Copies of this chain bind each other. A is one copy, B any other.
């Protein structure tokens, strides 16, 4: 029942929003660009404009329903927010994305922010590399 999530987020329940949420929840890939979502909608037979996809994703981000990753190379990808913070490993060959959490790193980051007098609001850590499959 996606409508509930939308309502809870203070967003009107509209077809584009329902469909985008559906895509994100049922997609085989957890990380999708706006373009990916747009194409998935088309395949689903929904004629929703790309501008609307961008708007909806941005609103979802504001509402805490998704997070935006600003990958190197310009375009952003989105993932459903599940409450668990994590960082990312990106394959520079196949663009596959893996997630990881490391409490030691988290802790060190907090310590560094404190040390420098920063009130930390966020952080982003990307490890770039060649994944197992692409090393052959």
Count contacts on A: residues with CB < 8 A to the other chain.
34
Assess whether B89 is in contact with A112, with CB atoms less than 8 Å apart.
yes
Assess whether A130 is in contact with B108, with CB atoms less than 8 Å apart.
no
Of the listed stretches A39-47, A49-57, A120-128, chain B binds A120-128
Interface string of A101-136 (1 = CB under 8 A from B): 010110011001100111111111111111110010
Q: Which residues from B are CB-within-8-Å of A112?
A: 89, 100, 102, 127
| Beyond known contacts A91-B118, A123-B128: 12 more, CB 8 A cutoff | A89-B116, A100-B112, A100-B116, A105-B105, A105-B108, A112-B127, A117-B132, A118-B127, A120-B127, A120-B129, A122-B129, A124-B124
Q: Contact residues of A with B, CB < 8 Å?
A: 70, 72-74, 89, 91-92, 98, 100, 102, 104-105, 108-109, 112-113, 116-132, 135
